[in-house]
C-alpha cells in the first residue's frame, strides 16, 4: 500500500503515515477518552526499492535531524501534553539503524514529558 511509499519526517517535523485514533468510553454518566497517535519515526530516513525490502537508510546526520525531531515532539506535546512513545521497529534486524537513531534523538531531546518504551515483537512471538 501507500504507506510503503513514504518514510520518516520532513524538515518541519511532519511524519509520514501519521494517524490519530480516539476511543470514547461511556460508563454511566461519565465519558472517557483515549487518544493514540502513530506515524513514521521522526528522523530523516528512507527505504529505496520497496519491492525487494531493502534496508532502511538514514538520509541526514544526527545534528541535521535534531530540529526536525524537536519540531515534531513540540507539536505533539502542545496538543497532547505528556507522551508515551512506543517504538515498534525491529531492534536487532534491518530496522535497527532507525530504532537507534530514534532513541538517540529522544535522549538528546531529554524532555521529562516523554516516556520512551522499546517493544520488539520478535521477543514476544
Q: Residue 7 has what pLDDT?
A: 82
What are the pLDDT tens digits along the chain (125 aa)? 444 456 899 999 999 999 999 999 999 999 999 999 999 999 999 887 666 677 899 999 999 999 999 999 999 999 999 999 999 988 888 889 999 999 999 999 999 999 999 987 777 76
* 75: helix, strand or coil: helix
Query: pTM of the full predicted structure?
Result: 0.86
- Nearest-angstrom CA–CA distance, 117 and 87: 6
Residue found by looking up cell 537507534 in the block: 100
Q: Do 34 and 23 form a contact (C-beta atoms < 8 A)?
A: yes
- Please state the domain extents for the chain: 2-124
Q: Residue 78 has what pLDDT?
A: 98
C-alpha pair distances (Å), 15 with each of 19, 68, 87: 10, 10, 14
The beta strand positions in the chain, using DSSP E, are: 19-27, 30-38, 45-46, 57-58, 83-87, 114-118
Amino acid at each position: 500500500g501507500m504507506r510503503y511509499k513514504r518514510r520518516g519526517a520532513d524538515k518541519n517535523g511532519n511524519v509520514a503515515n501519521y494517524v490519530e485514533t480516539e476511543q470514547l468510553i461511556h460508563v454511566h454518566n461519565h465519558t472517557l477518552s483515549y487518544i493514540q497517535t502513530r506515524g513514521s519515526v521522526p528522523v530523516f530516513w528512507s527505504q529505496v526499492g520497496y519491492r525487494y525490502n531493502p534496508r532502511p537508510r538514514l538520509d541526514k546526520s544526527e545534528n541535521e535531524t535534531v530540529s526536525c525531531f524537536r519540531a515534531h515532539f513540540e507539536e505533539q506535546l502542545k496538543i497532547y501534553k505528556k507522551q508515551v512513545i512506543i517504538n515498534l521497529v525491529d531492534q536487532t534486524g534491518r530496522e535497527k539503524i532507525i530504532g537507534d537513531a530514534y532513541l538517540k534523538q529522544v535522549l538528546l531531546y531529554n524532555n521529562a514529558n516523554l516516556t520512551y518504551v522499546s517493544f520488539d515483537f520478535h521477543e514476544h512471538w
